[in-house]
Structure 1
């Protein structure tokens, strides 16, 4: 397909991409793969958090998401406060100008409609609202593809998220609780579909171990401080999480098990360092990963995975490795249930090392059954994602002779 002018279709991708979160970048990689297959004529660029990293890794032009470079730093001085305030105004015009240059804008996956981690309304929620409002005003369809959502307590954040969803031209979710959350916020979700997370569309690495080769245990950790409504108790939540996870790793080492620590974001490094220092054993090592592919290779080489971050779980499940979730949000529970391992969840807010060890041993006892279940569920996930991409192509890239991308559309 080409745009109405006869030039190649212009596609923008948007989000906190290239900012150190491997899950976000994996979602981008999946959408870029889809575009290469289905729309090889597309000219793609990004409005994102880490433009230099996105350009270097994926070879597409990228623009900084916020005009003010200190957007995600706490503003304590008058100059910083003024800079942030001015940035909000400048970003209105920057975002509208960027959106206007495109035929379609895609927000690839990510938890853009949730606040399960600490989040200020005038940060990313405001940026997403500007994007969706600009899309509606300029006639450029904005598609929220395979995104995550969750109930939001903060009124300002909830309002921005609700209107972002309402203004989007296309919505799909990575799990049923996400769709339910948006419906509860007053968004009409009757035409919205649920599909597996976009990361399930990424290539699966070859098995890293054979049944007769002893493997190690991967433990995926996170700089976890609770959600957006837990700011007052964030320090205590983090202390309990770290102490419980450290005790669990120490118990594995005392059983003679090798442990490989995994992360999913640059901010997780201090947690790894704390566990390495506390356990102080050559049996505990830390993986260096730069992509979901790296994470999948690590999990494929393991006997078992115990992980917190959502996309650590996806990588382990996609690799077919028996997995136990340190669950911090409904999305983790829903993912594990969808993949047939719903019994193997443990609350990240209250890590009980003894109970976690019991669940871990039960999972290892049933490892063969778990691997068979995961093989079946992974095949189903690939099939369902193929259906999503077919629907997405029809929605965003209609056949020649249909309404051009920039023609007026009815408001839903």
Structure 2
């Protein structure tokens, strides 16, 4: 058998710790299951991916200003030309591989603002190139959600149909794709790939420190909330700030967590508003570091999806400031479905009530999380074994022509 040539694709290395965690989990599995695999990436931050994970990487977009607003004629022309160039670049990159994997990430959803000609178009190009070149494209453990915008929905639906393999991180994602007209009869559902990352080292239970981790997000609502994005953001920041202030008033140390570089502005706003040495900002640069922060806390209140993953994986009682169905589904899977609060309507008084209840039930919740983590670990191991068999069948395949 020839070593498989595996491509990974996505907004990787761009500052989102959840996306990078999904890549890290996939690479860890590949290096154990197929150490001979030659892996490279087509991604948002190629330099960061190469430095951090030691694999060659190519920039996702030819036009470097792809995600900046185009207001001048030159920028508009550059973006337009970039779409054509990216079609050729993507097809050439895909053709060099035996399989291309999109690891995790919410690539089939619009729960955060995005434009159809951005990542949805890039994903469509990828899956179309896979069909044209005969290279299977696998969407592995991805998130999906209903999409109201017609153009975005059309691109996402078409990309999903063109993919050779699909699996989802929750039932709600599979249901959303079925509702969009994708045949999901053979699509698998399994825990988020990030649960395959190494768990925190076991240690004797530490006495309560009083520390609360609060995971914050530069939240403005979803793709359908653009008209009231400012109002949603102000309400979210105000409610979160009031919660932090109330905890500090009780002498509780508060550690602010993030999951994306853009969240720094919210951290700064809370630090300035509360102005207390009890409030500090985490510098965690990976999901492993976020998990360690959560493991050292008595409780966690978190917004970003992968902040929730880290806290729950750490076995720490967690309250979700939920902004999408994926957060609700994760909390239900891990047995904490009762501890959710809508991020769009962040109410400090109600949040504090829910937090009190969370802490009262902490011993039982830690027991539940230990059981659920064991189940999730087993389910994900079984899925990844099946995935390896599906993507790399034992029978040797003919190497594709590269000329």
TM score, norm. by length of structure 2? 0.98
8 Å contact kept, 2:200–2:314 = yes
Whole-angstrom CA distance in 1 between matches of 2:172 and 2:380 = 18
Name the CA shift for 1:64/1:25 in 2 (closer, same or farther; >3 Å). same
**Which range moved further: 389-398 or 59-68?**
389-398
Q: CA deviation at 1:62?
A: 0.2
Q: Does 1:179 align with 2:174?
A: yes
Measured against aligned partners, the alpha-carbon deviations of 1:269-328 in whole angstroms (never above 9, x if no partner) come to 000000000000111000001100110010000000000000000000000000000000
Give the match's secondary structure for 2:298.
strand
- Equivalent residue number for residue 145 of structure 1: 140
Tell me the CA shift for residue 9 of structure 1.
Answer: 1.1
TM superposition shift of 1:136: 0.7
Q: Aligned to 1:373, which of 368, 372, 378? A: 368
Look up the match of 2:391.
396
Is 1:274 aligned to 2:280, yes or no?
no
- Among 275, 286, 291, which residue is 1:291 paired with? 286
Match for residue 13 of structure 1 among 8, 16, 22: 8
Match among 33, 37, 42 for residue 38 of structure 1: 33
Paired with 2:127 and 2:378, the residues of 1 have a C-alpha distance of: 29
How far 1:209 moved relative to its partner?
7.6
**Residues 1:327 and 2:332 are matched in the alignment:** no
8 Å CA contact 1:55–1:61 kept in 2: the answer is yes
Shift of residue 207 of structure 1?
A: 5.3
**Aligned counterpart, 1:345:** 340
Structure 1: gaps (5+ residues): 3-7, 408-412
Paired residue for 1:310, among 305, 311, 317?
305
Deviations 1:201-229 (A, max 9, x none): 00011257834242400000000000001
Q: Quote the Cα distance in structure 2 between the aligned partners of 1:134 and 1:106.
A: 13
| Match for residue 260 of structure 1 among 245, 255, 261 | 255
CA contact (8 A) 1:104 1:405 kept: no
Q: Structure 1 length normalisation: TM-score?
A: 0.96
CA displacement at 1:45 relative to structure 2: 0.2
Equivalent positions of 1:54-93 (< 5 A) are 54-93=49-88
3-state secondary structure, aligned to 2:40: strand
Per-residue CA deviations over 1:11-64 (Å, capped at 9, x if unaligned) read 000000000000000000000001101111100000000000000000100000
SS at match of 2:14: coil
Shift of 1:387: 1.6
Cα distance between partner residues in 1 of 2:266 and 2:33? 41
Structure 1 CA distance for aligned equivalents of residues 284 and 75 of structure 2: 34
Give the length in aligned residue pairs.
Answer: 401
Whether the aligned pair in 2 keeps the contact of 1:17 and 1:28 (CA below 8 Å) is: yes
Mapped contact 1:207–1:319 kept (Cα < 8 A) = no
Matches within 5 A, 1:92-171: 92-171=87-166
Mapped contact 2:221–2:323 kept (Cα < 8 A): yes
- Separation in 2 of the partners of 1:158 and 1:116? 12
Tell me: CA distance 1:285–1:372, structure 2 relative to 1, closer, same or farther (3 Å): same
Q: Deviations over 1:79-101 (max 9, x none)?
A: 00000000000001000000000
Report the Cα offset of residue 255 of structure 1.
1.2
- Is contact 2:208–2:298 with CA below 8 Å preserved after alignment? no
